[in-house]
Structure 1
């Protein structure tokens, strides 16, 4: 390479040339760019600087004060937006960037924000409280399907319900599941079903679709209808990754409508096997009890009571006679012992009787009704009564003399 063959350009010349190329491209003079806001900054001058990025790249953006004044929302990092403007090169540093004149919220970003705002609001009001979840009936007699009557989802649910548990009756409550007014229609249908007394379970939902298609189940009227339902509700919206507000409020969330049907009723084959197992255990328990009763009956049959009941009665009669004899003998001994003890007591009582003492020549002197035991109790001239064995005589004290008897 020879310097004489190629001209030499300055950096500013190269940057200026690139700017002319970019500015001259019709595509880059006015285009829409979708991306996520990052590195957002608003300077005191009123100019906004940020980047738009997606999974594979990013582009620097600037929005001058005059255009920024017309914004109807405040850009924040992470917000999905659509920017309109032109791409040009900034000559000073050679960086190309998007000069935005308009900035709009991307529909997907707006939906995400609306979803999170409503979710936060309803959660604060207690609609997601696990304590408020109603248990599902084990064997529902009738299930109401609040869904579109024309979709594959309703056909799948009916088929699975009939296969798993034919005893359950199915009531289809037709509603629109997308579009304007769909949310109000779904909510009204849930309220209508609650006015009946023959419905045990409600399944509401639809098959898969875009975020916008499923949006009716993210609306507040549907959420409140589910929350106020006295009948347990299963939410079955879209496919496994799809999560709606209805899923949070419902008593049970199913990943798909088909899964909702599986969760709603038992499987008749499994129930049959369970009943067969219970029957087998019951039969075994009965056989064990019967065997125990047979052994007890055999033992009783071999006992002496049943083989020779007369001999058993005779033995008991003899035992009773012996008891009676021993009782009579014991009673006689007790009476004799009592007589002897009574005679002894009578003798001692008789020996201690005052009359017995008087019969031996003793007397009892009384003065003024009291027994006289000392000369100090009477005075000369005092009247006295003297009791002897066969009577009493009256006398008067002539004199008294104190005497120490030994």
Structure 2
């Protein structure tokens, strides 16, 4: 009896899940009626009802939150993922599920959140290095044969890609390079698979991406090392991460961004049905052009045949014309030969004998020699006369130069005798006061300092006595 009493007692003291949630709700809502909470917005959704549903998070935790239409109408800005905000909220517990959320009554911005700030800083850094430059982008081939897809092998993205490719272009061979697409190791695995695709080297294009998710789920595609690996890829890369509104660093460094994985498949693979329609249209255009060309050539042939007439008659007329031209050629040739003969006879009659020509040339040479001798003698005589004139001029110049030299020596001697320096050489001195020559004793007074300029050097003295 005592053994069974304890379990029964514990069963009676146990509470149900509903009671537990009710007590938790009462405790939290009564103990924490209003709170100021700061955090970063993620998973933001503006419902068509007007209510806002989102999460508030920091580096370690997150909590669900709601802001109803009556309160969010007073918010002065449009919140978005990555915004760091300060909210006044109360805690509300939803008993059926046992979870709690913040019911926000007001919201103020506190600047960009940590993740968004990291995203913007990395974006600016890579842009400054030129990794987003459109000139670096590679062009996708129109008809790729080998396609590499770097994504999760079990996610919705690979199923969407394969379905689109199967519908659009069955001849494209697809190789999946499996990797994680969220979590701490995802960026490393994606980077290694991108490097492996380039190492193999036989692929024509590469899709890197995943389906939609929160900003945290997509964060591995904002990894700097992954971005640099994609930018260095020698194979054109299509980034297909999340939905159309999601942007990651991989989108900017890739050669092409697709809003979704399905859109990436449509970009890389040509629509075989559309191309077959184009081929058939071109085939019909070519056939019509060939028919038109054949009909035109046939009509042109008939027209030319009418213009030409019978070939036999045309040939007879040409033969007759040929005979006529041959007869005229023979007659002109005979006349030309006769004319040449007559010209040759006239030339032969007018030619002189070699002896006569040689004598005429010799006479001409002698005449030229005589003229040359006379001209040389005349030039020589003129040169002699000019030389004599130059000698006479030289003698006259030397005589005048000697006279001028004598006059110069006389003038220099006279100038030298009048020089004050010569007077000083004879023992005289020049008295100076304030660098002015003294001529009279009245220009001085007792005690004045006087400078004496000597032939060599200077001397200084003082006036002790004056006499006129």
Same topology, TM > 0.5: yes
Matched, 1:334 2:354: no
Distance 1:137 1:252, change over 3 A: same
**Aligned mates of 2:116, 2:86 — CA distance in 1:** 15
> Where does residue 325 of structure 2 map in the other structure?
320
Matched, 1:284 2:288: yes
Moved more, 149-158 or 106-115: 106-115
> Where does residue 250 of structure 1 map in the other structure?
254
| SS at 1:120 equivalent | helix
How far apart are residue 166 of structure 1 and its match? 1.2
Matches for 1:6-405 after TM superposition, within 5 Å = 26-27=31-32, 31-34=35-38, 56-57=73-74, 80-81=84-85, 109-298=113-302, 301-302=305-306, 303-304=308-309, 306-308=311-313, 310-331=315-336, 334-335=339-340, 338=343, 346=350
| SS at 1:138 equivalent | coil
Q: Is the 8 A contact 1:300 1:306 kept in 2?
A: no
| SS at 2:328 equivalent | helix
How far apart are residue 328 of structure 1 and its match? 3.1
| SS at 2:38 equivalent | strand
**Aligned mates of 2:142, 2:75 — CA distance in 1:** 54
| SS at 1:195 equivalent | helix
> Gaps spanning 5+ residues in structure 1: where?
1-24, 37-52, 60-77, 87-104, 355-369, 371-406
**Aligned mates of 1:107, 1:177 — CA distance in 2:** 29
- Residues 70-108 of structure 1 show CA distances to partners (whole Å, capped at 9, x for unaligned) of xxxxxxxx961568999xxxxxxxxxxxxxxxxxx9998
How far apart are residue 250 of structure 1 and its match? 0.4
**Aligned mates of 1:217, 1:286 — CA distance in 2:** 55
Q: What is the aligned length?
A: 274
Q: Normalised by the size of structure 2, how large is the TM-score? A: 0.51
**Aligned mates of 1:310, 1:85 — CA distance in 2:** 112
**Aligned mates of 1:229, 1:107 — CA distance in 2:** 36
Q: Is the 8 A contact 1:301 1:307 kept in 2?
A: no
**Aligned mates of 1:122, 1:275 — CA distance in 2:** 43
**Aligned mates of 1:306, 1:292 — CA distance in 2:** 23
Q: Is the 8 A contact 1:304 1:312 kept in 2?
A: no
Q: Is the 8 A contact 2:211 2:243 kept in 1?
A: yes
Q: Is the 8 A contact 2:83 2:111 kept in 1?
A: no
Distance 1:214 1:106, change over 3 A: farther
How far apart are residue 165 of structure 1 and its match? 1.2
How far apart are residue 301 of structure 1 and its match? 4.6
Moved more, 301-310 or 227-236: 301-310
- Residues 174-228 of structure 1 show CA distances to partners (whole Å, capped at 9, x for unaligned) of 1110011101111111001111132111001111111111111111122112111
**Aligned mates of 1:300, 1:85 — CA distance in 2:** 98
| SS at 2:207 equivalent | strand
Q: Normalised by the size of structure 1, how large is the TM-score? A: 0.59
> Gaps spanning 5+ residues in structure 2: where?
1-29, 41-66, 77-81, 91-108, 357-365, 367-468
Distance 1:146 1:339, change over 3 A: closer
| SS at 2:160 equivalent | helix
| SS at 2:37 equivalent | strand
| SS at 1:34 equivalent | strand
